[in-house]
Chains A and B, each alone.
Chain A
């Protein structure tokens, strides 16, 4: 097996003097794995993903992303080394974070900014090869009919498709998706998760996705990591995730109801 895409050891994240929001002894994700991170709100899912993308700084411990030990924090995008690493890690956001006034095509094309250098890209001139790639990415998320439409005219599900196409355009080795469907209804949620997992499998990318609902993780992931109060309380194959496991992850509170669609 090649070296892990993500490796955490004795890693602790803490804000101020409060108890740590993340405290993980050891966690490794291998190349090509589809991993879902589940747990209640505040269990540390977002912190874990943002840590892997360099937006959250650890208090102590070791963190390796794509074989590179990371020490970088927020606002360090101007640092050349961080920029190069960040370009290899794609991120799909809970709130889509698309640029609303721009077209679908531009939003997707701008996913390639990490590999654009010089004045051309600042003046809006992109290589023809990247413009063609953008069309392919838009086709892959099934938004060709909306290519030239402004993103703020699209529905939430369509906006997240733009977010997915933007990550395809970026061509990262690792894709992180932070609650990508929590603001969508169950039908759309399932569509987007299926799309993301499909994209990751077709392009041979590693996908780490946090989800509020265990049912979607069970259905689409290879492996599920359960977080509770900042610690990993369950880690295993998605098929092994049973009611007992779910109860141990979500504690005494009952897990959120599974979506009724497509079950």
Chain B
């Protein structure tokens, strides 16, 4: 028997309370986000009013870059090819280096005392900036594209091995169990149960990492680790902006072409 008559349906109990505390708790995330953005805004001295006056210098800068100096085209093509080669070889080595730690980092393939520490190590590796690695390898091996390749390879493992491990973990457990129940050993279960299921994911992750490597390799030349970055830096410092323009255009074309190709392949793999 209900005494209060304000409920429409006598069968349904009262809805859960909505207190001020609940509302505040639910807004915590938004408030924290606002604080962080305000901190960054204030810290960088960001002012919208300053953007208005920046238009004229920007136009002047672009004006100094035109027309692109096509005599730099040969250098641009050659050094872009080197950057592309660094990205290709670096990604290839990264794939080879990533598979063992990825197998160890997959929760469905190894015990927690193995995959947890391996995941921490990979996170640590991801924390090392590419330029720092490049500097280290240049110091060890001298100038040129070889330290660049190694820097890209090592830098990629942190992310690629984690992505591979995540892909391994996304394999449906049933088919793996079916192979296990047929007496398959660990390597056979990985090869037939896991890799067969997630092969498209691995290919997609690898192509994505290759796109990133191509873009990140552009800066390797700044520290003498090969590629187009060296000439960009050289021409900027000697104020030859029309040559910078040529280099930029070549990079733009290559990056767009590679990304279009990569996206097309990745889409076909899904």
Per-residue CB proximity of A127-170 to B under 8 Å, as 1/0? 00000000000000000000000000000000000010010001
Cβ of A101 under 8 Å from chain B: yes
Given contacts A78-B186, A98-B175, A101-B196, 6 further A-B contacts (CB under 8 A): A77-B180, A91-B181, A96-B174, A99-B197, A110-B184, A115-B183
- Which residues of B approach A to under 8 Å, CB–CB? 172, 174-175, 177-189, 191-193, 196-197, 199-200
Asked if residues B189 and A77 are in contact (CB atoms below 8 Å), the reply is yes
Per-residue CB proximity of A166-201 to B under 8 Å, as 1/0? 100010000000000000000000000000000000
Of chain A, the residue at the smallest CB distance from B108 is A75
**Which 8 A-B residue pairs are closest in the complex by CB-CB distance?**
A114-B183, A87-B183, A97-B174, A113-B184, A97-B178, A91-B181, A77-B180, A99-B175
Of chain B, the residue at the smallest CB distance from A53 is B181
Asked if residues A90 and B181 are in contact (CB atoms below 8 Å), the reply is yes
Of chain A, the residue at the smallest CB distance from B186 is A78
Q: In whole angstroms, how far apart are the Cα atoms of A87 and B197 in the complex?
A: 22
Cβ of A116 under 8 Å from chain B: yes
Of chain A, the residue at the smallest CB distance from B189 is A77
Asked if residues B193 and A170 are in contact (CB atoms below 8 Å), the reply is no
Q: Which of A209-247 contact B (CB under 8 A)?
A: none
Q: In whole angstroms, how far apart are the Cα atoms of A121 and B190 in the complex?
A: 12
Which residues of chain B have C-beta atoms less than 8 A from A113's C-beta? 179, 182-185, 188, 192
Which residues of chain B have C-beta atoms less than 8 A from A86's C-beta? 180-183
Asked if residues A95 and B174 are in contact (CB atoms below 8 Å), the reply is yes
Which residues of chain A have C-beta atoms less than 8 A from B188's C-beta? 113, 116, 121-122
Task: Name A's interface SS.
Answer: mixed
A interface residues, how many (CB within 8 angstroms)? 33
Of chain B, the residue at the smallest CB distance from A76 is B180
Which residues of chain B have C-beta atoms less than 8 A from A104's C-beta? none
Of chain A, the residue at the smallest CB distance from B198 is A101
- Which residues of A approach B to under 8 Å, CB–CB? 53, 55, 77-78, 83-84, 86-91, 93, 95-102, 110-116, 121-122, 163, 166, 170
30 contacts between A and B (CB under 8 A): A53-B181, A77-B180, A77-B184, A77-B185, A77-B186, A83-B185, A86-B181, A87-B182, A87-B183, A89-B181, A91-B178, A91-B182, A95-B174, A98-B175, A99-B192, A99-B193, A99-B197, A100-B197, A101-B197, A101-B199, A102-B196, A110-B179, A110-B182, A110-B184, A112-B182, A113-B183, A113-B185, A113-B192, A114-B184, A122-B187
Which residues of chain B have C-beta atoms less than 8 A from A110's C-beta? 179, 182, 184, 192
Of chain A, the residue at the smallest CB distance from B194 is A99
Q: Shortest CB–CB separation between residue A245 and chain B, in angstroms?
A: 31
Of chain B, the residue at the smallest CB distance from A122 is B191
Q: Shortest CB–CB separation between residue B160 and chain A, in angstroms?
A: 22
